[in-house]
Chains A and B, each alone.
Chain A
Amino acid sequence: MSRFLFVVPPFTGHVNPTIGVALELERRGHDVAWAGVPGATEALLPPGARFLSAVPDEVAAYVAEAGERRDDARGAAGFKFLQEEVLLPLAEHMVDGVDAALDAFGADVLVVDQQALGGAVVARRRAIPWATSATTSAELVDPLAALPKVAEAVHQMRVDLQVRHGIAPDVAGAGDLRLSPHLVLAYTVEELTGSLAGTPAGEVPVRFVGPCAVGRPEPGGFPWDRLSDDAAVPNVLVSLGTLNAEVGERFWQAASEAFRGQPWTGVFVAPDHLVPDPPPNVIVRSRVPQLELLPRLRAVVSHAGHNTVCETLAAGLPLVVAPIRDDQPVVADQVVRAGAAVRVKFARVRADALRAAVHQALTDPALVAAAERIQASFAAAGGPVAAADALVALA
C-alpha cells in the first residue's frame, strides 16, 4: 500500500476535488493526508482527515488577510496581486512545511495543486514522483499565450523560487511547476478545455478524469416550499460563488431587475443587504444547499467558478456566465465555446442583457443539448476511480 500527500491552498474549489480522490485511495487501502494552511485548509477537509500544517500561524493569518484585501483587485491588477501577494509567498513559506510533512508522513507520491507550488518544489528537490492537481481548467490551457513578456516574468518568478530552495538553475528552468512531467490530473474533460496540443500542457501526461468533488455538508433551513413546481415557471440559481458575493452590488441590482415580473423563480445566493428589495419571485439566501437544489433547477447564472460550472454541467444544465476575475474568464470562454453557456459582463451587466441571457438559457435547446453532452462526457471520464488508478500507477 502507498502513501499519498495532497498539497493544497486554503481555497474550497482546490480542496474539494482532492477529497473525492483521497476517499477512493483510502477505500483501496492506501494512506492519505493533506498539507496546507492551518485553520483555513483544515476547515475544508472531512472530519477525521489527516492534516499536516505546512506554514506557521502568522503565514496563515497573512493569507487570510491578503484574501480580504484582494476583493477590489480584478483584471491585470488582480492577477498581479494573486500571483505576487498570495501565491508566491504561500509557495515560499510552504516549502519547509511540506518538507517536514513529508518526513512525518513518509509519502510515496505528492499530489500538488497548481496554487500550492511549494509542494512541487519539494517533490523536485527530493526527486519524489508527483502529480499536478489541476483544479481549474484555466491553468491547463495557456492563458498568458498572448502576453509572452508576462508569461516569461511569471515563469522566472517560479524559477527563482526553486533556486532559492536549492534546486540547480538549469533544473529549475526546465519544465513548469504547474505541470508535473509525471502526471496532471485534470478534473474536467477535453470537450471543455479544447485540444492541449501546442500548449505547455500538451507536453506532459494529462489525465482528464472529470469532476471529483464529493457531496459536502450543506446548510439546512432552505425554504423549499418557495421553489416552483410548475414546469412553466423554471427555477434559476444565481450565484457568484463563496468569495465574490460582496463585490457584486451592482450585479445583484441588475439581477433583481432582470427577474422582476418574469415567469421564473430565482434563488440568489447573496447577503440580504445586497438585495434590499427582492421581487416576489426571488429567494435571497446567503448560503444554499447547492447540490440538493440542482435537480430542481433549469439553469444557473454563475461567476464561472470551476466548481459551480462543473456541478451545473454534471447536472446537464446550461449556464449564464458572468466571470469576475482569476481563472473565471478562461473557464467562461471554455463553456461558451462548448456551447453550454451564454456570457454576460460582470462589471457592466445590465438588467435587460441578463434577462435576455437567462431567457436564452431557458429556451434554447442547443444550450441544453451541449450541457447534456458534457454531462455524458463527465460521467464517462471516470472521476475519482480514474484519478486513483493514475496516482497508484505513479507510486
Chain B
Amino acid sequence: MPETVTPEIVLAQLEEMLVEVIGDDLLLDGPLTMETSFDQDLQLESIEFVALSEKLLETYGEQVDFVGWLAEMQLDDIIALTVGQLVGFVAANAAASGA
C-alpha cells in the first residue's frame, strides 16, 4: 500500500496495470491520460475489466471495489468512463481506508 495515494501516483500505477492487462500496445497511441476513455479509446473488453478489477484489489485492497462501482453505473456512465474518474475513485477510497 503506498504511503500517499496522489492522483499522479495512481495514474502511473494504473498505466502499469493496464499494460499488464492489455499488453504494451496500450502505449502505442501515447501515454495514458486522465481523459483516456475505457470504451472508445482503450476498447476495454469485459474480461479485461474483470482482470483490471483483480489488479486493483491486489494493489489497493478490497475497499477499491471496481466491479461494485461499475455495477452502480448506467450504460451512458460506462460509455463515458475515463481513466481520470477511476483515478479519482481509487484515490478517494484507498485514502479513506487510512492508506
Contact = CB atoms under 8 A, between A and B. Distances in A.
Q: Do A and B bind each other?
A: yes
Contacts of B22: 345, 348
Interface in A269-321: none
Contacts, number: 55
Interface in B16-46: 22-23, 25-26, 39-40, 43-46
B57 interface: no
Contacts of A323: 45
A150 B75 contact: yes
A150 B43 contact: no
B25 A77 contact: no
A153 B67 CA distance: 18
Interface residues of A, number: 19
A147 B23 contact: no
B44 A150 contact: no
A280 to B, nearest CB: 28
A57 B17 CA distance: 50
Given A329-B47, A348-B22, A77 B73 contact: no
B80 to A, nearest CB: 9
A323 B46 CA distance: 11
B64 to A, nearest CB: 17
A76 B78 contact: yes
Given A75-B44, A348-B23, A350-B25, A149 B39 contact: no
A76 B23 contact: no
B99 interface: no
B9 interface: no
B43 A347 contact: yes
B72 A149 contact: yes
B45 A345 contact: yes
A80 B74 CA distance: 11
Contacts of A350: 23, 25
A182 interface: no
B45 A329 contact: yes
B70 interface: yes
Given A333-B47, A348-B22, A348-B25, A147 B73 contact: yes
A75 B45 CA distance: 7
Interface in A131-177: 146-150, 153
Interface of A: 74-77, 79-80, 146-150, 153, 323, 329, 333, 345, 347-348, 350
Interface of B: 22-23, 25-26, 39-40, 43-47, 67, 70-76, 78-79
13 contacts: A75-B43, A76-B75, A79-B75, A80-B75, A80-B76, A147-B73, A147-B78, A148-B71, A329-B45, A329-B47, A347-B45, A348-B22, A350-B23
Given A76-B75, A76-B78, 7 more contacts: A74-B43, A75-B39, A77-B40, A147-B75, A149-B74, A150-B75, A348-B23
